[in-house]
Structure 1
Amino acid sequence: MKRLYLSFCLLGTILPLIPFLTWLRENGFALNLFLSEIAASRISQFAWLDVVVSAAALFSFALHERRKHSLKYAWIPIIATLSVGVSLGLPLLLLMLEIQRNPRPAEQTSA
């Protein structure tokens, strides 16, 4: 599962950033244009609201895991979500949980 989650982290970073960086190159940091394009159609509103609710659920889950199961660095998936999106934050959180719950066995040393 660790490799699968890591693969999703890579895809979840690269795939959304390609169109976003292209948009930034074409439009610069035009916040008003960005917000108007978010609200431009019902389908874009649907997508953005879906992402916002998913991000809130991810933040809640990460903070819960930090308190209940002592997940170290629970803030990292939150920062990843805020900087890239849920497409990175969620698989990163799942990867961190998998690593914590199933640590790699110690390498056997040859004598």
Structure 2
Amino acid sequence: MRFVFLALAIWGAIHPMYYFLQWFRENGFDLYAMTQAWHANAASSGLVWDLTIAAIALTLWIMAEVISRRAWINLIAIPATFCIGVSCGLPLYLFLRSRY
């Protein structure tokens, strides 16, 4: 399972980033405009909030386990979650966590 999590983390980094980079090529590097596009309608706003809440829950879980296990390298999953997405951060954390 460990390498399935790694494969999902890589896929979760590459696939969403393809769309983000495509959007930046078309609209320039404007984070404000991107966040406005995320809230273009109720469905996309719901998805944004769903992923935001999942990212916060994942972050709290990572921090709690890092404090108890002292596996500091696992903290790398937090910036992966917020800079790339839950689709990368969660499987990356599961990959890192599964080594012990």
Q: Which category of TM-score, normalised to the shorter sequence, fits these structures?
A: over 0.9
Tell me, which stretches of 5 or more residues in structure 2 are unaligned?
A: none
Q: Deviations over 1:13-44 (max 9, x none)?
A: 11101111000000012233212212210111
| Residue of structure 1 in register with 2:43 after alignment | 43
TM-score if structure 1 supplies the norm length?
0.84
Q: Does the residue aligned with 1:82 lie in a helix, a strand or coil?
A: helix
Distance 2:95 2:35 in 1: 32
Q: Normalising by structure 2, report the TM-score.
A: 0.93
| C-alpha distance in 2 between matches for 1:31 and 1:70 | 35
Between structures 1 and 2, the one with greater helix share: 2
Number of aligned residue pairs: give it: 100
Match of 1:20 in 2: 20
Distance 1:74 1:51 in 2: 20
Query: Percent same amino acid among aligned pairs?
Result: 33
- Distance in 2 between residues matched to 1:15 and 1:9, nearest whole Å: 10
Match of 2:80 in 1: 80
Residue by residue, what CA displacement relative to the aligned partner does 1:58-82 show, whole Å, maximum 9, x if unpaired? 1101101111122222320001112
Secondary structure of the 2:44 match is helix
Cα deviation for residue 87 of structure 1 reads 0.8
**Counterpart code for 1:21:** L
- The answer as to whether partners of 2:74 and 2:97 remain within 8 angstroms in 1 is no
Show the counterpart of 1:65.
Answer: 65
The structure whose RCO (Cα within 8 Å, separation 6+) is larger is 2
Which runs of structure 1 show a deviation greater than 6 angstroms over 4 or more consecutive aligned residues?
none
